[in-house]
Chain A
Amino acid sequence: MASKKKILIVDDEQDILTYLSTLLEDNGYNTVLAKNGEEALKQMEAALPDLITLDISMPGKSGVKFYRDMKVDDRWKHIPIIIITGVSEDFKKFISSRQQVPPPEGYLSKPIEKEEILALVKKFTA
């Protein structure tokens, strides 16, 4: 039997971390959680996930900075990232201002549909 895929969930809202981790674990994934960019980096150093879901607006190291660090680092840039955010404008501005950073693999606007997130996670971890 194949080992479970590991998903890193990054969001500053504890309730959303609980929701996404429960939903994904119910559907056969392992999850690790981070409340901001710094915590997410620590998780990355500890063990690479198969996919990251990332909020953009967070205190401390924001999702935008974390995303940029991921996508310019050879160790991490292959890991698919699904952006899950309530502020689409900031992220779009960031991407358009830095053309060397590729767009995210997936993008979902809050509030999210659980079928959508499951379909995207399945697609990028297949």
Chain B
Amino acid sequence: MDLNYKQFFEVMPAYLTILDRDLRIIAANQRFRKDFGEFEGRYCYQINRHRSERCEQCPAERTFRDGLRHGIEEQFKNLSGQEVSLIVYTTPIRNEGGEITAVMKMATDITEIKLLQNQLRESRERYRQLFEEVPCYITIQDRDLHIIEANRQFREDFGDVLGCKCYQVYMHRTEECLPCSVKQTFQDGQVHQIEEVVTSRDGQQMNVLVYAAPIRDGGGEIISVIEMSTNISQIRQLQSQLTSLGLVISSISHGIKGLLTSLDGGIYLVNSGLEKNNQERVKQGWQMVERNVARIKTMVLDLLYYAKDRDPDLEWIPTLMVAEEVCELMQGKAKEYGIDFQCAFDPGAGHFAVDAKAIRSLLVNLIENALDACRVDKKKNKHQIKIRLKGYPEFVEFEVYDNGIGMDQETRERAFSLFFSSKAGDGTGLGLFISNKIAQVHGGEIKLESELNKGTRVTIQLPRKGPGSKPASPKPL
């Protein structure tokens, strides 16, 4: 070897060795000698791998065989027994006649790079695991609201829907939501929060709290948005119980104020009757006291009744009676709004075991919704509400139909949720929620069919025998 090449060979910052056909090391540079020791008379596999036999995949052997350069990643053990990761290249050394007389092996230490690669892989796996296993729905969306990634919980509940639009999957809509937190985040780069009702692929509705946050590239530009939705249905259910309690307390408090005034009245009539020796007034006053004490008693019992999970107060009553009472009450209102109000009652609908007060309020609620739907609909000249009652052997079916404003799919799906109202500031978001509850505690169900700008049909099936017995031919909601 010329002196210059020998100097280069010696100082190269890599492990350089020259092997003969038996893989014996015939030359090695300074760095190799320092880390792997003296080489004279020894084979490369002895020194590099501490083996007594040749390696299964030996790049030097291949180079001897085919005369080409070969590369491989290998683990060597240095003098102190430490594993070193290396990238090894072999290249042939030929004599003047072109015959391969030796192979030069150059090994570059990549231990630190491997360490960093491993750390990066582990870190990626950790984040992947976190992304996959976090107990909420996570999607990553592009500017067109396509879902480009989704975690395990999302895929389980909403299906493998990569490439679909977010609103199609979550809301079953054909148009994007307004407002859309993902779009807002793309626009201003801020985190946005919104509460939604979404429907899983098996039809289960959930109240979710949605957070959208930007994902930026190295230049700070937003390339996608991560949307995280937490199921808060249980919190909402708890809230609904508290709300019901609040409503009951507020209504009872109002009632009590009236009762106390009436009691004051009775006492006044008794006292003033005694003073004036007016027996008729005393009698009238005493009746007032008795009546209002009885009402307080009922109210307190009601309060106790609501305080625990409420069971319906069942009575075996004629279905026609309930239907007629409610329709009589609501007919006047319909007339006031110029809405045609028709009733078709099956005279043989028979009896059912229900909490009459609760069922009356359920029907009033649904008819009030129908009235509102007609009242706000400016697209038709004539509006109509039809109430139908039909008796079946096992259950009774009420139907409230209106040709009012109707509902789109999203509104239909959210209609029974607590605090959801399609009536802007005029609704409390309680009506259909409570109606549904009433039907459920009777072992019945409410079915909703509606089309935007065409109308709505609500069907209520109630078992004749009350809770515990299902309708004979239950239909899915």
Contacts and interface: CB of A to CB of B under 8 A. Distances in A.
Interface residues of B, number: 21
Contact of B292 (A15, A22, A26): A15
Contacts of B261: 13, 16, 19, 86, 110-112
A57 interface: yes
Interface in A1-47: 13, 15-16, 18-20, 22-23, 26
A20 B264 CA distance: 10
B265 A16 contact: yes
Contacts of B288: 15, 18-19
B274 interface: no
Contacts of B265: 15-16, 18-20, 22-23
A91 to B, nearest CB: 12
Contacts of B281: 22
Interface in B245-259: 253-258
Contacts of B292: 15
B452 interface: no
A48 interface: no
B365 to A, nearest CB: 16
A23 B267 CA distance: 11
A87 B253 CA distance: 9
A109 interface: yes
B266 A23 contact: no
A65 B259 CA distance: 24
A124 to B, nearest CB: 20
A26 B256 CA distance: 26
A13 to B, nearest CB: 6
Interface string A108-126: 0111101000000000000
Nearest to A22: B269
A15 B263 CA distance: 8
Contacts of A19: 261-262, 264-266, 268-269, 288
A22 B272 contact: yes
Given A13-B262, A23-B268, A114-B264, A18 B284 contact: yes
Interface of B: 253-258, 260-266, 268-269, 272, 281, 284, 288, 291-292
Which 10 residue pairs are nearest across A and B when measured between Cβ atoms? A19-B265, A86-B257, A111-B260, A15-B262, A110-B257, A86-B254, A110-B261, A111-B261, A15-B288, A87-B254
Interface of A: 13, 15-16, 18-20, 22-23, 26, 57, 86-87, 109-112, 114
